[in-house]
């Protein structure tokens, strides 16, 4: 028999992402819809370890759907990595009568949730929130679309100065382990080359391609480089290397950095976060645990958390082909 759920906890963990607030809002209001008390847990797993909780009602999440960051804050918790920390976290949940936990975050956050479930049998549900889009079981993570728009806007601006000065720009974008931001934003901004960890381009191919580009009449060029892949060099060394080997180019380097994680979420991310937040609460009410809610073929769908953390999304081969064809 399914135990009636009366109290759910929600936290945001890992790197923040635009749209996390929209997800929090959807969770809080879905709880109200079911007459379930919703408890906000501050600073991710660290707040769980310390019992930093606050009951949230529908009016507590007014006007946050449009805000970047996370009102619940986020942290990388050392405490939760220890057995004592997790024990304390479990005790706080029991003391407060919380019966299930919704974790809005990425890979590392879900791994923490799984471990917690394994140790204490505590029900957990994941909502994918990370700009990197590197989680299996969803075509889009919350924040990815907004980050892409931020990157494209920045690259458009850099393109203006690049073309005025006939320069070659290396632009580093986020994505520690994945090239989804680089590939999508690269196509969207018309980059001449896109360097991602999933594809080993090799230095020789890069030089040959840039040479060809120059010979074809291009006066300026943009190379988008994913943070996780620099062909064995940091992006500044990469720029130096190319300038040394292709003196016909005047090279500049730009690292976009954490601005990619901020800003108001796009409409797509707000709608996605709202759908996933509602589905997470629906699923807990139905007695489900250890799943991640995601978007598959434009439908909300559940994937076992263990699969979500293990299988990284591969890079879209069709996008690679499109990029190869249109950068000629
Ligand atoms: O949010 C994901 C991510 O943006 C990665 O691409 C990046 O490597 C990482 O976060 C950096 O996060 P932080 O500076 O918070 O450690």
Kindly give, in sequence order, each residue whose CB lies less than 8 Å from that of residue 144, ignoring residues fewer than 6 positions away: 17, 130, 131, 132, 133, 180, 181, 269
pLDDT in tens, 104-113: 999 999 999 9
Ligand 1 center to residue 174 CA distance, Å?
7
Domain boundaries, the chain: 7-143+265-310, 144-261
204 is catalytic: no
> Does 7-143+265-310 match 144-261 in CATH topology?
yes
H or E segment and range at residue 243:
helix 235-245
pLDDT in tens, 184-237: 999 999 999 999 988 888 899 999 999 999 998 888 899 999 998 657 788 999
Percent of the chain predicted with pLDDT > 90: 88
- CB 175 near ligand 1, within 6 Å: yes
- CB 123 near ligand 1, within 6 Å: no
Q: Which of 16, 132, 134, 145 is catalytic?
A: 132
Spatial distance between the Cα atoms of 74 and 11, rounded to a whole number of angstroms: 8
| Under 8 Å between Cβ of 256 and 154 | yes
Superfamily of domain 144-261: Phosphofructokinase domain (3.40.50.460)
CATH entry 3.40.50.450 includes domain 7-143+265-310: yes
- CB 132 near ligand 1, within 6 Å: yes
Spatial distance between the Cα atoms of 105 and 216, rounded to a whole number of angstroms: 45
Candidate from 104, 134, 176 with most ligand 1 atoms within 8 A of CB, to mutate: 176
- pTM of structure: 0.96
Spatial distance between the Cα atoms of 47 and 192, rounded to a whole number of angstroms: 45
């Amino acid at each position: 028999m399914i135990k009636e759920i009366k109290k759910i906890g929600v936290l945001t963990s890992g790197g923040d992402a635009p749209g996390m607030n929209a997800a929090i809002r959807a969770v809080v209001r879905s709880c109200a819809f079911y007459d379930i008390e919703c408890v906000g847990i501050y600073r991710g797993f660290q707040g769980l370890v310390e019992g930093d909780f606050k009951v949230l009602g529908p009016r507590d999440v007014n006007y946050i759907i449009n805000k970047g960051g996370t009102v619940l804050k986020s942290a990388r918790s050392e405490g939760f990595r220890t057995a004592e920390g997790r024990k304390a976290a479990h005790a706080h949940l029991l003391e407060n009568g919380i019966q299930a936990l919704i974790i809005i975050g990425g890979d590392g956050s879900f791994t923490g949730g799984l471990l917690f479930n394994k140790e204490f049998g505590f029900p957990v549900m994941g909502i994918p929130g990370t700009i990197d889009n590197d989680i299996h079981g969803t075509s889009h993570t919350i924040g990815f679309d907004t980050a892409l728009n931020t990157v494209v806007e920045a690259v458009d601006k850099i393109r203006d100065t690049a073309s005025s000065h006939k320069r070659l720009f290396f632009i580093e974008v986020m994505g520690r382990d994945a090239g989804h931001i680089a590939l999508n934003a690269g196509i969207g901004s018309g980059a001449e080359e896109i360097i991602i960890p999933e594809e080993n381009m090799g230095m020789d191919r890069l030089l040959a391609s840039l040479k060809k580009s120059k010979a074809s009449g291009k006066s300026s060029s943009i190379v988008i480089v994913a943070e996780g892949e620099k062909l064995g060099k940091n992006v500044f060394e990469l720029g130096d290397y190319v300038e040394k080997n292709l003196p016909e180019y005047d090279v500049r380097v730009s690292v976009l950095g954490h601005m990619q994680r901020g800003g108001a979420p796009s409409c797509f991310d707000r709608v996605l976060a709202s759908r996933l937040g509602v589905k997470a609460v629906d699923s807990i009410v139905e007695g489900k645990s250890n799943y991640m809610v995601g978007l598959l073929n434009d439908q909300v769908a559940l994937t076992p958390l263990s699969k979500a953390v293990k299988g990284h999304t591969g890079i879209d081969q069709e996008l690679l082909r499109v990029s190869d064809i249109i950068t000629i």
